[in-house]
Amino acid sequence: MNDLQGKHFVLGLTGGIAAYKAAELCRALIKEGATVQVVMTEGAEQFITPVTMQALSGRSVYTSQWDAREPNNMPHINLSREADAIVIAPASADFMAKLLHGRADDLLSLMCLARPRADSVQGGAKEVPLLIAPAMNREMWSHPATQRNMAQLAADGAHMLGVGSGFQACGETGDGRMLEPAQLLEDIIAFFQPKALSGQRVLITAGPTFEAIDPVRGITNLSSGKMGFAIARAAHEAGAQVTLVAGPVGLATPRGVTRVDVRSARDMLAACEAHTATADVFIACAAVADWRPAAAAEQKIKKDGSGATPTMAFIENPDILASVAKTERARSGQLFCVGFAAESENLVEHAKAKRLRKGVPLLVGNLGPATFGQDDNALLLVDAHGVQQMERAPKLQLARALVQDIARRLQATPATATAATTAATTAATART
């Protein structure tokens, strides 16, 4: 899956030690299907050579406004018009101040000033967005002048990619590091995704739960959390404010997503209850344990050599999806609930029954043994109108398609959305 296939970027480098990261970013953009034209300032050439960037991009690097390769001597016009976006990484404090004031005394600042903006495009020309990845010392980053400059650049239409925190080349530690290339790549990909959930607040559960038997053992399942994490990333890409309630998994948190780590089903329910009051969409993707030991042993249960098998009583865990679906916000249509069903057989029948039993307008089914731990999946969308198959594909691709489907459902009139939710709840009540 090449998320940037067919895109063309101008990658601008300004002076800063983080210029070495631009080499990896250039390579990452190309691996995602993009083409890259590198433009460097005089300061950038002090940290990394044009030869390096030429080798990685496969294109000659531009460093001067007076480059003789351009017949009209206007590389600031020609190069910017070809681009789908200009990405400045690293962007120094000085260069951002220059952009703020409209100064244009080198090729890169000229290009940024001359790029077609959304409010200025003419005759079918396309907008060329400006994405800025700052990089500087922590004191420079926190200085009021830098913060004012960034705020004004954003108000002028630039997209700020943020910074990282940690050890800096100067020996100090703090905010201001340029984001890592993988983080920048994820943010750039997200920038180009449709913003179908802009302004929406989405709550997602993901991964397994763990129910303790004793201090070292417990009941869990094979869920990796990959599908739920992919949905969280896709929802953020679509413009939503995302909270991810995650069971015990070792996955990295998607960029821009707020993560709440939990362990047991009761922990997950408590976390969901704390966030459903402000959510617009609830997606219950986690594989929650149906039962837990009635009482966990205080110490490790050990074998005594007798061959005797310990006995254990179980009690049913709370039903998180059903509990949320019964809330007033869900019943009134203010909270759109989506459930997941991981089955081992008879997927269609079990998914249909579970949707009615849980009282939700949409249920997503998959075969657990065929998807747990995998990077791809096949989904079944079940609603009041029938069943829709989503063929096997990478989980992020399916997550994006699911998010777009949910967005289309949310665009229905409030009366329609409320009616669908009420019908599902009524059916569930009738079966209880």
Amino acid identity at 276: T
Give the CATH class of 201-297+313-431. Answer: alpha beta
Question: What residues are annotated to the active site?
Answer: 170
What own/partner pairs with CB < 8 Å and gap ≥ 24 does 274-279 have?
275/203, 275/243, 275/245, 276/203, 276/324, 276/327, 276/329, 276/330, 276/335, 277/329, 278/201, 279/201, 279/202, 279/203, 279/243, 279/335
Cα 344 to Cα 370: distance, rounded to the nearest angstrom: 9
Give the closest residue to 136 by CA, choosing from 100, 163, 158, 159.
163
Residues near 280 by Cβ (< 8 Å), separated by ≥ 6?
200, 201, 202, 334, 335, 336, 410
Q: How many CB atoms lie within 10 A of CB 186?
A: 20
What are the backbone dihedrals phi and psi of residue 239, each rounded to the nearest 5 degrees, phi first?
100, 5
User: What local confidence, expressed as pLDDT, does residue 103 receive?
Assistant: 93
Q: Do 38 and 53 meet the contact criterion of CB atoms below 8 Å apart?
A: yes
Strand partners, 165: 175
What is the predicted pLDDT for the residue at 159? 96
Q: What is the pLDDT of residue 415?
A: 42
For the chain, which residues make up each domain, given as ranges? 8-191, 201-297+313-431
| Phi, psi torsion values for 326, nearest 5 degrees | -90, -5
Q: Do 8-191 and 201-297+313-431 show the same overall fold?
A: yes
DSSP 153-205: HHHTT-EE---EEEE-TTS-EEEEEPPPHHHHHHHHHHHTS--TTTT-EEEEE
Backbone angles phi, psi at 2, to 5 degrees: -100, 100
DSSP H or E run through 130: strand 130-134
- pLDDT at 294 (0 to 100): 92
What is the C-alpha separation between 19 and 69, in angstroms, rounded? 25
One DSSP character per residue, 279-298 reads -SEEEE-SB--SEEESS--S
Comparing C-alpha atoms, which of 311, 4, 312, 285 is closest to residue 131? 4
Question: What CA–CA distance (Å, rounded) separates 152 from 158?
Answer: 9
User: Do the bridges between strand 201-206 and strand 281-284 make them parallel or antiparallel, or are there none, so unpaired?
Assistant: parallel
Amino acid, res. 161: L
Pick the CATH number of 8-191 from 3.10.129.10, 3.40.50.2300, 3.30.70.260, 3.40.50.1950: 3.40.50.1950
The predicted pLDDT at position 313 comes to: 93
What's the confidence (pLDDT) of residue 406? 97
Q: What is the pLDDT along the chain (432 residues), one digit of tens a residue?
A: 699 999 999 999 999 999 999 999 999 999 999 999 999 999 999 999 999 999 999 999 999 999 888 888 898 988 999 999 999 999 999 999 999 999 999 999 999 999 998 887 777 678 999 999 999 999 999 999 999 999 999 999 999 999 999 999 999 999 999 999 999 999 999 999 999 999 999 999 999 999 999 999 999 999 999 999 999 999 999 999 999 999 999 999 999 999 999 999 999 999 999 999 999 999 999 999 999 999 998 999 888 888 888 888 999 999 999 999 999 999 999 999 999 998 888 888 999 999 999 999 999 998 878 888 889 999 999 999 999 999 999 999 999 999 999 999 999 755 444 444 555 545 444 444
pLDDT number for residue 177:
95
| 99 residue type, one letter | L
CA-wise closest residue to 181 among 205, 211, 161: 161
Query: Residues 6 or more apart from 411 whose CB is under 8 A from it?
Result: none
